[in-house]
Structure 1
Amino acid sequence: MKHIKKILAAGICLAASLYLTPAMAAYEIDPDYTMKYNDPGKIEQRYRWHGPYEVKSVVLSDGEAKYGNYKYKVWYPVQQAGRERPRPLVITLNGTGGSCDKDEPIFRHLASWGFVVAGNTDAQTATGFSAEWTLDQALAANQDSKSPLYHQIDEKEIGIVGYSQGGAGAYNTLEGKDGDKFKTMVTVSGVTESIGEKLHLPVWIYDPSKVTIPVFMAAGTGILDRKLITPLDEMKENYSKIQSKTAALGRRKDADHLDIQTAADAYITAWLRWQLDDDIYAKRVFTGKAPEILRNPAWDNAEVRNPETTQPKQTEK
C-alpha cells in the first residue's frame, strides 16, 4: 500500500514539474565548471579540483522495466595495481527533470576523489524508488566477477546525495527497505515542507526527526532557494530535528538553485571524504576550534554540530 501511494504521488510530481519550472535541473553541467569558482577557503580550494584518480564508467542497466525503465550508470576510480581496496559508494538522486547524463561532470569529479558514484536518469526521484534500485544493482555488480566493479565497493561505507526533490527522495530512501545501509546523507537545495504543501505533493514531505545518520545540508542564497525551494527557516527547522550528533548546514553566497550543485561541490566532496573515507584534512571544514565553513566568507548561515566542536557557531553575514 505504501508503494502504491508513492507511485500515485510520483504521477502528481510529474504534473507538478510543469508548474515548478524554477526547480528543474534539466540542464547540462559544464565539464569545466571547476574553473568558474574562486574559493576563499583553503580546504575548499583543494576539493574543488579533481582528485588523484583516473575515472571510468559503466552502465549497469538501461530501459529495464523492473528498474523503472531508467538508465543506471556508475563512475568509479581506476585503482593502482597493488594498492586496490574497496571504495565508498555514493548514490545520487536527481532534481526535477535532471539525469545522470546531464550531471556527469560532478559525478566524475566525486569519483576522482576515490568514490564509486552511482546515478540514473530518473527525473522524478522523490519517492526514493530509483535510489533503492540503484543500490541493488551496484551491490549486485560488486559481487559479479564479470563486472569491473567486482569487489570495488565497500558495502559498509555508503552515502546518499539528493538534489532538489532528490533531497526528499533521500529522506524517503532512508525510510525504505535499505535505509539502514546508508552511513551519511547530503541534501543540496533539498525541497522543504512548504513547497510540498503548496503543490499538494505528500511525497515531498518527510520527517527529519527519523534521521540518525550524519547529514550535511547545502543551499544557495539566491532568490529561488531563499524564497521557494529551501527557505532558511525551514532548512534550520529540518536541521534541528535531525537526531544525529553530527550535522552541518550552510548556504553558498551568490549561488541559486540551478548552480548550487557545482557551487557547493567542494564542500560536498569534503563531507563525503570525511564521513566515508576518514579524511582528516576534509573533516577540518566541519570540526575543530575553527571549522572552515564557519569562517568562509563565501558561505552564509553556517552551523556545525559534532562531538569534536565544543562550541558550534553560526555565521550571519
Structure 2
Amino acid sequence: MNRWGRAAVSAALIGWLASGGVAQADPGLYAPSAGTEATYFQAGPQAVTEEIGFGCCDSTGAKYDLWYPTDLGAAPHPIVVWGDGTDAVPSRYAYLLRHLASWGFVVVATENQQTGSGDEILSSLTYLLDRAQDPSSIFFGKLDTTAVGALGHSQGATGVLNAMIKSGGAIKTAIPFELPAQHWCSTEPTCTDTRRIKAGSVFFVNGSADVLAAPSDQLLPWQSAGLQSVRAYYEATTVPKVWGTLNGPNHNDIQGRPGCAQASFPCTAGVYGYLGYPTAWLLAELRGDTTARSAFATGTGAFLSPSPNWSNQTSRLEP
C-alpha cells in the first residue's frame, strides 16, 4: 500500500473508532443556491448509457468505463476524463459521472486505482480520441476532441492536474476534488505542482470536513512549506482559476449515491454539492456557455456570493 493509502486507512480507522463504529445519517437533500447552481444541480436533459469495461486496456491492463448520452445525435460532445482516488474504481463515482453525461458530456474513466501520475488518465483520453476516428465506433464523428476536461478525486485530483500538465494543451480545464497535500507524496512521482500549469483553467473544490486531503489553509507560506493546502495550490496557479470549499463534506462524500449510500468511509453529506457548480464550470469552459461562465467571474459571479453551502469562494476569471 502506498503512502497515501496507509494514511487514509489510519485516519479512517481513527474516525471509525471515535464514532463508535456507527454510520452517520444522511442529512437530507442539499439545497442549491438559486440560479446557476440550482439549474445544473438537476439532472440534464439527456438519457445516459453506462458501459463498465467498455474498452481495453491501459499499460497495466486496466479497462475503461464510459458514461455518455444515449442519443449522441449529430452535434459533437465535449469529453471528460476521470481520475480515481487511491484504490477506488470509477463505479464508486457513478452518480456524479452519470450526472455529467446527462448534460451532454462523454465521460471516460480508467479502472486503474493508482492514477496520480496522470499517465493512465491520458491513456483513457487517447483511447476515446481513437474511437472518435474509428468508423466502426459509436463515437465516430460524435466527439469534440478540442474540448476536453479532466476531473479527479484525491490521488486522482493530483492525477488530473499532472495529466493536464503533460497533455500539451489537449486538456482545457481541470477540477481536482479533495486534492492531497504535497507532504503525502513528497518522495513519489505522483506529486503535482500547479506552478507547472501553463495553459487552461482550474476549479479547485474541497470539503470542509476532509481530514485526509489538503486542508483549506496552512500555517507557513507555501513558498517555504510547499503546497500543503488548497489555498497554496490555488495561489501558486497562474492560469484562470476558481476555488471553493463545500461546507460539510468529508473525503469520500463525492462517492455518494446520492447521500452517503455506497460511498467509502468516511462520508457525511453525500454527493449533492459536487453536482451544480462543477457542471456549470464544464459547460462554461468546454461549451462556451457565457451564462455559466458569468457565475464564476471575478468580483461579480454568483458563485462568489455568501452561501450556506460554500466558503473560501475566490476567483481569477474574466467574464
Gaps (5+ residues) in structure 1?
1-11, 25-32, 309-317
Instruction: Say which SS state the counterpart of residue 181 (structure 1) adopts.
Output: coil
Q: Which residue of 1 aligns with 2:222?
A: none
Answer yes or no: is the 8 Å Cα contact 1:128–1:173 preserved in 2.
yes
Note if 1:43 corresponds to 2:36.
Answer: yes
Give the corresponding residue for 2:5.
17
**Distance verdict in 2 for CA 1:166–1:297, change over 3 Å:** same
Give the aligned partner of residue 272 of structure 1.
282
Quick one: structure 1 residues 113 and 217, their matched pair in 2 at CA, closer, same or farther if it must change by over 3 Å?
A: same
Moved more, 85-94 or 264-273: 264-273
1:214 equivalent in structure 2: 201
Q: Which residue of 2 aligns with 1:302?
A: 313
Amino acid at match of 1:53: Q
What aligned pairs does 1:84-95 form with structure 2 within 5 A after superposition? 84-95=74-85
Which whole-Å CA distance do the structure 1 matches of 2:236 and 2:128 have between them? 31
The code of the aligned residue for 1:301 comes to: N
Aligned AA (1:232): S
Q: Percent identity?
A: 27
Determine which structure has the larger helix proportion and give its number.
1
Cα-to-partner distance string for 1:103-160 (whole Å, 9 max, x where unaligned): 1121111011010111121111102121121011101111111111111111110111
> Do the aligned residues in 2 keep the contact of 1:91 with 1:159 (CA within 8 Å)?
yes
Matching of residue 147 in structure 1 with residue 148 in structure 2: no
Greater mean deviation of Cα atoms: 131-140 or 99-108: 99-108
Residue 161 of structure 2 aligns to a residue in which SS?
helix
In the alignment, is residue 292 of structure 1 matched against residue 299 of structure 2? Answer: no
Contact 2:116 2:191 in 1 (8 A): no
Equivalent of residue 53 in structure 1, options 46, 56, 72: 46
TM-score (norm 2): 0.79
CA contact (8 A) 2:241 2:317 kept: yes
Q: State the TM-score, normalizing by the size of structure 1.
A: 0.80
Structure 2 unmatched ranges of 5 or more: 13-25, 218-228, 256-270
Say whether 1:281 aligns with 2:291. yes
1:230 and 2:230 aligned: no
Q: For this pair of structures, how many residues does the alignment match? A: 275
Alignment of 1:61-76 (within 5 A): 61-62=55-56, 64=57, 66-76=58-68
- Inter-partner Cα distance in structure 2 for 1:289 and 1:70: 44
Map 1:151-230 onto structure 2 (within 5 A).
Answer: 151-176=141-166, 178-197=167-186, 201-212=187-198, 213-224=200-211, 228-230=212-214
